[in-house]
Amino acid sequence: MTDQASNIYPEAAPAERIDGKAFATALRADVAEGSARFRAQAGRQPGLAVILVGDDPASQVYVKTKMRQAADAGITSFPHLLPGNTNQDELLQLIALLNGDDQVDGILVQLPLPAQIEEKAVIEAIDPAKDVDGFHPVNVGRLSTGQSALVPCTPLGCLLLLQDRLGDLSGKKAVVVGRSNIVGKPMGQLLLNAHCTVTTVHSRSQDLAAECRSADILVVAVGRAEMIDASYIKPGAIVLDVGINRIALEDGQSRLTGDVDFDAVSTVAGAVTPVPGGIGPMTVACLLRNTLSAAQARTAH
């Protein structure tokens, strides 16, 4: 952080830290209530199948967190931990089995997958009604045409936080940094559906900082540690930091950091989400919310 960057608006009050972790805890309590009602009506708990191929330690941690929080929210999880050399046909056979299993309402295949498996083929094999990640082209199409859909968890978590703080988002200027299928694109779509004026920027954009400085709402999902400093921020803006970057420290340890330089941005913004404790926990809470929604929709007809 440069002195210049931290002092461009010296009169501003420091930004509020948005507690995504606490919000996610409240959201999981809502899901638990809904799951209990579902169980009373359907005679079973909502079910979530979680597939992990390989033994990447970070992915193992995420999968454990998801299963523990699912149990706490009254959702049964069905873990499928497959060896790293699993081939595509084996994975597709498992998905076909889960598509046909009435106890399973949601199917999550942890990404990234090993190189021998094509992500697109796997995503397209999942029954769209059980696609709790919202990555299937049917759900992507439904979201982009404003129909009810299973919506990707990370952008859904961002939207819920924004609506909690701002209520109606109509007419707000929103800038999304990043255009991945998982975060950036569905985020733009959700903000557009909520009547924001949306700009999506990426690695080929010109004058990224100027685009970002026009934003009342700035959502950052680039995967570059602390890239966004105070010079990207409009005074008073709400900044959501999706980035999860593990950086090595000198003592051999590591720490998690976002795509936003939290301290620098806090001198200018109105409110900022931290990493950890921001969007990450919201993602997992929204996965459980989507599982409950899928269970309700599957038993409604």
Ligand X SMILES: Nc1nc(=O)c2c([nH]1)NC[C@@H]1CN(c3ccc(C(=O)N[C@@H](CCC(=O)O)C(=O)O)cc3)C=[N+]21
Among 31, 108, 158, 269, binds ligand X (CB under 6 A): 108
Least Cβ distance, residue 20 to ligand NDP (angstroms)? 9
Considering CB distances under 5 to 8 angstroms, the limit depending on partner class, which of ligand X, ligand NDP, none binds residue 203?
A: ligand NDP
DSSP readout, 49-100? EEEEES--HHHHHHHHHHHHHHHHTT-EEEEEEE-TT--HHHHHHHHHHHHT
Q: Is 110 annotated as catalytic?
A: yes
Q: Cis omega (within 30 of 0) on the bond before 112?
A: yes
Regarding 283 and contact with ligand X (CB under 6 A), the answer is: yes
Which residue in the list 45, 66, 105, 259 is annotated as catalytic?
66
> Any known ligand binding at 266?
no
Regarding 109 and contact with ligand X (CB under 6 A), the answer is: yes
Which residue number, 94 or 265, has a Cβ lying nearer to ligand NDP? 265
> Any known ligand binding at 244?
yes
Distance CA 257, CA 271 (A): 17
Q: Which residues in the 174-203 window bind ligand NDP by CB under 6 A?
A: 177-180, 182-184, 202-203
Helix 153-166 crosses helix 279-299 at what angle (to 10 degrees)?
100
Considering CB distances under 5 to 8 angstroms, the limit depending on partner class, which of ligand X, ligand NDP, none binds residue 76?
A: none
Distance CA 191, CA 155 (A): 9
Distance CA 127, CA 264 (A): 44
Regarding 177 and contact with ligand X (CB under 6 A), the answer is: no
DSSP readout, 181-207? TTTHHHHHHHHHHTT-EEEEE-TT-S-
Q: Which residues of 113-143 are buried (b: 16+ CB within 10 A; e: fewer)?
A: bbeebeeeebbbbbbbbbbbbbbbebbbebb
Least Cβ distance, residue 275 to ligand X (angstroms)? 5
DSSP 8-state secondary structure symbol assigned to residue 275: S
The 3-state DSSP class for residue 218 equals strand
Which residue number, 66 or 172, has a Cβ lying nearer to ligand X? 66
Among 276, 297, 298, 299, binds ligand X (CB under 6 A): 276
Q: Is 296 annotated as catalytic?
A: no
- Sort 55 into a burial class: Cβ within 10 Å, 0-12 / 13-18 / 19+: exposed
Regarding 204 and contact with ligand NDP (CB under 6 A), the answer is: yes
Q: Is 131 annotated as catalytic?
A: no
DSSP 8-state secondary structure symbol assigned to residue 230: G
Largest Cα separation within the chain, whole Å, is 62
Stretch touching ligand NDP by CB under 6 A, among 142-150, 167-175, 231-239, 277-285: 277-285
| 134, 138, 143, 149 alpha-carbon torsion, rounded to 10° | -60
Q: Which residues in the 5-64 window bind ligand X by CB under 6 A?
A: 61-62
Considering CB distances under 5 to 8 angstroms, the limit depending on partner class, which of ligand X, ligand NDP, none binds residue 133?
A: ligand X
> Any known ligand binding at 280?
no
Which residue number, 151 or 153, has a Cβ lying nearer to ligand X? 153
Q: Which residues bind ligand X (CB under 6 A)?
A: 61-62, 108-111, 133, 153, 244, 256, 275-277, 280-281, 283-284
Q: Which residues bind ligand NDP (CB under 6 A)?
A: 154, 177-180, 182-184, 202-204, 208, 221-224, 242-245, 279-280, 283
Catalytic positions are 66, 110, 133
